[in-house]
Structure 1
Amino acid sequence: MIVREPRVVSPYRALLAAVPVREDVVRVAGSETHVWTYDPPGGEEARVTVVAVHGFRGDHHGLEPVVAHLTGVRVVMPDLPGFGESTPLDGEHSVAAYAAWLRELVAALGLGPDVVVLGHSFGSIVASAAVAGGLRASRLVLVNPIAAPALSGPRGVLTQLAVAYYKAGAALPEAAGQSVLRNAAVVRITSLAMVKTHDRELRRWIHDQHDSYFSRFADRRVVLDAFRASVSSDVSTYAADVGVPTLLVAADRDDITALPAQHVLQGLFPDARLVVVEGVGHLIHYEKPREAAASIEEFLA
């Protein structure tokens, strides 16, 4: 695994510094899963616990800006198996396998049926599949949900290019494939394609976050499995079987899932509320974490 430490100071550092956090390791589904627990600052008692699942190729750092803006909420956030600090699962890293892992993790942590499940991007698919498959939760929150097949999104051509890129990474010899999949230029191109803010310092920090954390996957098999899972499924597959109130936090400029698809997705859930954050794309958690946190708190209240 390549580890590059961040070089740009987070604009949310003061808020994050006030949040008590601890790291634990739980063995689930063959994975040594690293889990971070964020408690409310100032010794405040948490009124609810949220289990948060990050997106493809990221790790728990990505959702920390949203955590920093929440009040009275305990957030339990693992690195997905095979990414960040967590070791891979036994077997394939499919949506079904990740959903089963999440159900087992919640049980292993002793979290009761009042837990709230949150997922961002690819994590929205995993979270939805887990709840639809029997994870007992009180509510579901999806940030930048993948509402429709990625290949049909506003930038379907870019997704096709991504498919070709990952196929090349799979076809090459091991060392060359690893090099292609961890290529810094490709990471930066991906980051540039997603960022929408015109704030230069915020853009610089976002790019540094991607440079630091997007290549922290265990091996080629894991990232190829997870990519196939991310483009072969979406939240709409599981929506009808989610029997808890659901919040969709969508963006009006998301290039992966167009806003009309989010309205369609809302109608597929038995009970769903849609909040649209304006002026942002697929990086709500980086560019508009305050707005995301406010929507989540209102939903939980």
Structure 2
Amino acid sequence: MPQLLRTPDIKVQDIDGITLRAAHWPVRGAHAGPPLLFFNGIGANMELAFGLGDMFPDREILTLDVPGVGLSPVTQWPYRHWMLARWIRKLADLYGIGEMDVMGVSWGGALAQQFAFQYRTRVRRLILCATTAGMTMVPGRPASLSKMADTRRYTDPDFMRENFAQLYGDMADPSSDGHIERLLPPDPKGYLYQLLAFAGWSSLPFIRFLKMPSLVIMGDADSIVPLANGHILNFALPDARLHVIEGGGHLFLVTRAAETAGIIQGFFNETESAAAHAA
């Protein structure tokens, strides 16, 4: 695993009786961009996102282990996306984060859409990676989805190495940045609660209210969330642009990190320039 240039401050925070483990990268300076709030995929602990600090060195960044994932304890009862979004908004308040950019990958992309809807006066821009509009999604390949449901992908490194390409549709070396070594198995009940939170959820009833500039990034070799889902999001969001990573699988944010960071930074530069011109 490469040495990170920026490492986060990690704290355990209590929000309405819910314990959330958070990672925060502070940044100072007149040229710092808006804070970035990041939501990870299902079952993914926040260590898998620690490369964000180096991908966006001029940004304050906040991410977390959702309940039952990583080292955040599971909640007593199931939750819905709107409940989790409210807890995270209070977490952002603790760090003094007002307006922010919001980014989510896969399951976290659904949460990002929900958060952006509930707190759209605070969300400047929305970045959605390898994700869908919810229950209306075009499903992935059955072989990949069946392996996604196999908990050995968290507990058995050999299983993950052998099935990486089938799981994620990406032929890059899964060990190149220590991805497998940073995996922590989620609490089984916490993983189930994540599935239940997504069950029946859709952003389509409110997606037209997400008027902030939005970037949808998809891989055309994604076997879990096919490219067609990105076209749906791009069509439904009022101010969206779609970028397709050729040959990119579900984990392009990891396996094609530098390329993805450049795409997102270009989006930031474009929208900041447009806002300055409009002013």
> TM-score range, shorter-chain basis?
0.7 to 0.9
Q: Distance in 1 between matches of 2:251 and 2:80?
A: 23
Cα deviation code 1:63-110 (max 9, x no counterpart): 223432223112111111221122233531332332222222223332
Q: Is the 8 A contact 2:27 2:59 kept in 1?
A: yes
Q: Distance in 2 between matches of 1:151 and 1:300?
A: 27
Cα deviation code 1:97-153 (max 9, x no counterpart): 3222222222333211x2111111111111111111235211111121224548742
What is the percentage of aligned positions where both structures have the same residue?
20
Q: Distance in 1 between matches of 2:206 and 2:75?
A: 22
Matched, 1:94 2:80: yes
Shift of residue 252, structure 1, vs aligned partner? 1.1
Shift of residue 226, structure 1, vs aligned partner? 0.9
* Cα distance change, pair 230–52 in 1 and its aligned pair in 2 (3 A): same
Q: Distance in 2 between matches of 1:238 and 1:292?
A: 27
Shift of residue 282, structure 1, vs aligned partner? 0.4
From 104, 110, 113, the equivalent of 1:119 is 104
From 56, 81, 96, the equivalent of 1:110 is 96
Q: Distance in 2 between matches of 1:223 and 1:262?
A: 25
Cα deviation code 1:156-203 (max 9, x no counterpart): 46536766x69xxxxxxxxxxxxx89653896266442344445xx33
Residue 60 of structure 2: SS of its match in structure 1? strand
Residue 90 of structure 2: SS of its match in structure 1? helix
User: After superposition, where does 1:157-196 map in structure 2 within 5 Å?
Assistant: 158-159=144-145, 184=156, 188=160, 191-196=164-169
Matched, 1:60 2:46: yes
* Cα distance change, pair 258–196 in 1 and its aligned pair in 2 (3 A): closer
User: Given the two structures, how large is their TM-score scaled by the length of structure 2?
Assistant: 0.81
From 238, 244, 247, the equivalent of 2:212 is 244
Where does residue 183 of structure 2 map in the other structure? 213
Shift of residue 58, structure 1, vs aligned partner? 0.6
User: After superposition, where does 1:1-301 map in structure 2 within 5 Å?
Assistant: 10=1, 13-14=2-3, 16=4, 18-39=5-26, 46-112=32-98, 114-135=99-120, 136-149=122-135, 152-156=138-142, 158-159=144-145, 184=156, 188=160, 191-199=164-172, 202-205=173-176, 209-210=179-180, 212-215=182-185, 217=186, 219-230=187-198, 232-236=200-204, 238-301=206-269
**RMSD of aligned alpha carbons:** 3.0
Q: Distance in 2 between matches of 1:34 and 1:56?
A: 16
One-letter code aligned to 1:213? L
Q: Which has the higher helix share?
A: 1
Q: Distance in 1 between matches of 2:158 and 2:201?
A: 24
User: Given the two structures, how large is their TM-score scaled by the length of structure 1?
Assistant: 0.76
Where does residue 174 of structure 1 map in the other structure? none
Q: Distance in 2 between matches of 1:66 and 1:108?
A: 21
Q: Distance in 1 between matches of 2:51 and 2:153?
A: 27
Q: Name the structure, 1 or 2, with higher relative contact order (CA <8 Å, separation 6+).
A: 1
Which structure 2 residue ranges, 5 or more long, are not aligned? 270-279
* Cα distance change, pair 32–259 in 1 and its aligned pair in 2 (3 A): same
